Amino acid sequence: MNDSDITTVLLVDDHEIVRGGFRRLFDNTDDLLVADEAATGEEACRKYFECWPDVVIMDLSLPGIGGLEASRRILERHAAARILIFSVHENPVYLKKALEQGSLGYLSKRSAPSEMIEAVRCVALGKTFIGRDLIGMLADTLRSSELGPLEDLSPREFEVFRLLASGKSVSEIAVIEVLSPKTIANHYTRVKQKLDVQNMGEITRLAIQLGIISP
């Protein structure tokens, strides 16, 4: 097999045991090769532009910036990046936001290893891949163009909303997002207006209600 037949992968997950499991899976697959690993969204952004993988396997629940924000930053700099979301979140909000911002695939962590291999090969070709156990949810999402109150949030506002709901302060989010506290405060104000909420407590309750964070 020639090097051109090998698909290189960047594994992004904050659990070393998860990355190790998929590294072993790909080591035993002739046409897939792990180029590098990352444990945070920030590290994923840096390593992507160091190793230029064919496919990024991106977890959503990461320390610091989440997988959606990391994907957005990569795609902003390299629109041809091929990203496969691999997450415990089987949620139409995450699914639609990921596809809207340019990720090509979405796979549940309940999926079989064989489906992961199929998904990576598909995404490497520039094709969309949705896990079989998520197809029904995708169909429901497409039938309804709305995602409730989160529909109008921009990708950056959604990330600020997620971080606020997770208990981060405006100043902490400013450090994570590498933006000024004033900019984050402006996003916070727009999030409250768009979601018709008054404070952090209401943001957290809404995020739990919509399945964005766990209770």
pLDDT at 1: 46
> Which string of b and e fits 3-30 if b means at least 16 CB within 10 Å?
eeeebbbbbbbbeeeebeebeebbeeee
Segment 57-77, tens digit of pLDDT: 999 988 888 899 999 999 999
Segment 179-207, tens digit of pLDDT: 899 999 999 999 999 999 999 999 999 88
Q: Is the pTM of this model over 0.85?
A: no
Radius of gyration from C-alpha coordinates of the chain:
17
Q: Which residue has the tokens 């992004």?
A: 12
What is 174-207 written as a DSSP string? Answer: HHHHTS-HHHHHHHHHHHHHHHT--SHHHHHHHH
